[in-house]
Amino acid sequence: MFKYLGAVVMALMLSACGDHAGSRDSLAGTWGVKDGDTVKPLLKVEKSGDRYTVSDYKNGNWEPVQEQIKPMTPGDLAKITGNKEADSVVGIQTNAFAFFHTPVGWSVPGFTTQTGYVIFVPIRLVDLQRIS
């Protein structure tokens, strides 16, 4: 009996100590654009409950985006790309941009993501790098 109890306790301890990065929201964090060997800050996404807040990096400071942040579905992305998108695509959008997470290698003519994190600003897709 103690052998089984020990196994259960060990399993619980291992699960409690496990990596919880996967439980973190995939969009939350600080994001930048690679410029040569450096990554320049561009966007900070924070999540509280089911609401997102976004800040732009301008002139050395983070400035909150004043527009309403809405969830982006695979269907919303399909409207932009004209392609059927995977159900795993998640994102947020405003009237000025869309920021989304796709599988690495996702592509449309003229663009392939290397990171899986993409911001779409009018007429341009940009691959983003996680800073933090």
The better pLDDT of the pair 11, 48 is held by 48
In a domain, 92, yes or no: yes
In a domain, 31, yes or no: yes
In a domain, 17, yes or no: no
In a domain, 106, yes or no: yes
Predicted confidence (pLDDT) at residue 3 exceeds the cutoff of 60: no
In a domain, 47, yes or no: yes
pLDDT confidence of residue 24: 67
Closest C-alpha among 117, 75, 124 to residue 96: 124
pLDDT class of 105 with cuts at 50, 70, 90: very high
In a domain, 48, yes or no: yes
Three-state SS across 68-108? Answer: CCEEECHHHHHHHHCCCCCCCCEEEECCCCEEEECCCCCEE
Report the run of H or E that residue 2 belongs to, with start and end. Answer: helix 2-17
In a domain, 64, yes or no: yes
Name the amino acid, one letter, at 95. Answer: N
In a domain, 85, yes or no: yes
Summarised one tens digit per residue, pLDDT across range 70-79 is: 999 899 989 8
Distance of CA 121 to the CA centre of its chain: 15
Query: Can you read off the two tokens belonging to residue 72?
Result: 């982006």
Summarised one tens digit per residue, pLDDT across range 54-69 is: 999 999 999 999 999 9
Least confidently predicted of 19-28, 104-113, 122-131: 19-28
Residue 112 belongs to what domain range?
25-130
Instruction: Name the domain count of the chain.
Output: 1
